[in-house]
Amino acid sequence: MTKNDIAEALSKILSSKREAVAAVNKVFEEMLNSLQNGDKVVITGFGSFNMFETKTKNGRNPKTGEKVLIAPMKKIRFKQSKNFFE
């Protein structure tokens, strides 16, 4: 399912497709802003999203075999609700 599919489904209860697309975009924009600010996003009955930063780790260039440091990066973790599959 894509954002467009969600907007299409939402347009059946809203007045127009344009309004549905704007609503879907706003929801994802607010979720992204919250995660970037370090807040946890919880959708009851679905799950929660939180952002975390990985640690610096050692790696190896597969082509040359040279050791390299892999920089820390931000990732998003999703934890499903307990009743996700009910």
Residue 8: Cβ within 10 Å count:
15
Q: What is the pLDDT of residue 15?
A: 86
What's the chain's Rg over C-alpha atoms? 19
Question: Which is more confidently placed, 75 or 85?
Answer: 75
Find the helix packing angle between 17-36 and 3-11, rounded to 10°: 130
- Percent share of the chain, pLDDT over 70: 100
Question: What pLDDT digit, counting tens, does each position of 15-43 carry?
Answer: 889 999 999 999 999 999 999 999 999 99
pTM to 2 decimal places:
0.75
The mean pLDDT of 46-56, rounded to a whole number, is: 94
- Is the pLDDT at 86 greater than 90, yes or no? no
